[in-house]
Structure 1
Amino acid sequence: MSTEYRTGREGEFTYRGYDLDELQEMDLEDVAELLPARQRRTITRGLSEEHQKVLEKARERDAEETANNPIRTHLRDMPVLPEFVGLTFAVYDGQEFGRVEVQPEMIGHYLGEFELTRSSVEHGQAGIGATRSSKFVPLK
């Protein structure tokens, strides 16, 4: 499997042969042709009303404005488009809104991939109702 993006000789970001400025100037349909199959299908079948609202909010705001007041959304299945680079989103993970600052390398993924829904569990010591074998705590 080849990588979808890479940096050029000067460290400049490219996505499938196009640099970021060229991607941002393209129409949504042209960008959709470059995206992976699932994201391309989402766009070609037509974005839902909620997806359109998020896209409009992203087009209205600039990077400095979203740094202080991120675009809040429950849409974890919104594809990251070149227009979103530099913006900050507050993506809902089921309990709270987590901040996601969109980088160029995120193009072609979904917003929900960058805000995890599950946290790691760290178990403490055995409680009151524990069995005798589970109460054993090693000294080391």
Structure 2
Amino acid sequence: MSSTEYRTGREGEFTYRGYDLDELQDMDLDEVAELLPARQRRTILRGLSEEHQKLLDKADGKGDEETANNPIRTHLRDMPVLPEFVGLTFAVYTGQSFERVEIEPEMIGHYLGEFQLTRNSVEHGQAGIGATRSSKFVPLK
């Protein structure tokens, strides 16, 4: 593994840049920021907005079993996944609905929005009313 952010050790234990999950969760936010990729590090070091800080406080106050039934609802797709989020369930807004995202250790260093797509794939059907003659052509095979 060249410059990967995480890997599993020989025992199958998760590590992120040389630190296991317990060590990461014990670290201060500024110490964790130093391990994150540049964009996420800059987001944290410049200071989290009020909304981001509220989400962080809400996540610190929730237990694992509490969020399984009632996920933390958020519109903040640009919130970096931090070690204290591991094990929690978020409901991330996609522009139409809130979709559940269960945070796993491998998600550290990414954004919440990366795990819920906002666009659906388009599957074109047959040509409809008002289509030209050439677009109505459907091959037999």
* TM-score > 0.5 by shorter chain: yes
Structure 1 unpaired stretches of 5+: none
Partner of 1:15: 16
Partner of 2:75: 74
Q: Give identity over the alignment, percent.
A: 86
Q: C-alpha deviations, 1:44-95, integer Å up to 9, x for none?
A: 1111000010001100101211111100000011000000001010111111
Runs of 4+ in 1 over 3 A off after TM superposition: none
Partner of 2:66: 65
Q: C-alpha deviations, 1:6-35, integer Å up to 9, x for none?
A: 000011100000000100011111101100
Measured on the aligned residues, the alpha-carbon RMSD in Å equals 0.9
Partner of 2:91: 90
Q: Secondary structure at the match of 1:64?
A: helix
Partner of 2:110: 109
Count of aligned residue pairs for this structure pair: 140
Q: Secondary structure at the match of 1:6?
A: strand
Within 5 Å, which residues of 2 pair with 1:114-125? 114-125=115-126
TM-score, normalisation: structure 1: 0.97
TM-score, normalisation: structure 2: 0.96
Supply the distance in 2 between the matched residues of 1:17 and 1:2 (Cα, whole angstroms): 12
Supply the distance in 2 between the matched residues of 1:107 and 1:86 (Cα, whole angstroms): 11
Partner of 2:100: 99
Supply the distance in 2 between the matched residues of 1:77 and 1:21 (Cα, whole angstroms): 25
Q: C-alpha deviations, 1:93-136, integer Å up to 9, x for none?
A: 11111111111000001001111111100011110111111111
Amino acid corresponding to residue 49 of structure 1 in structure 2: E
Structure 2 unpaired stretches of 5+: none
Partner of 2:55: 54
